[in-house]
Amino acid sequence: MLQEHHTFQRNQPTVRMPRKRDDLTIRYIDGEALVYDAVTANTHHFNETALAIWEACEPHRQVYEVAHRMYDSFCVDYDEALAHVERVVKDLKDLQLVIEE
């Protein structure tokens, strides 16, 4: 299926991605990951898309850039990709797996 090419908009809001905490233990399994947080003693399961978003958590990246990568990689509507990135980033912040800089 061919997907219409979305114009990469430079006038998107510049919202920086948070930074991943560097004290987490990660185990990769078949394109997904288990992330263990020793501070809370919780283990989190990331599916393929959540893992891609988490791996993109670097302060030099913008949320809209990650959404564009999701759009390209997973063949989804850009607005849907953007909403998904924003939702996952919020969840990562709520779980304190990333740090706002």
| Cα gap 42→47, rounded to integer Å | 16
Q: Is residue 28 part of a domain?
A: yes
When divided into structural domains, the chain yields a total of: 1
Q: What is the pLDDT of residues 48-69, one digit of tens each?
A: 999 999 999 999 999 999 999 9
Q: Is residue 93 part of a domain?
A: yes
Q: Has residue 91 got a pLDDT over 80?
A: yes
Q: Is residue 88 part of a domain?
A: yes
Q: Is residue 48 part of a domain?
A: yes
CATH number of the domain that 74 lies in? 1.10.10.1150
Q: Is residue 9 part of a domain?
A: no
Q: Is residue 11 part of a domain?
A: no
Which structural domain range is residue 31 located in?
Answer: 19-99
| Cα gap 90→23, rounded to integer Å | 20
Q: Is residue 82 part of a domain?
A: yes
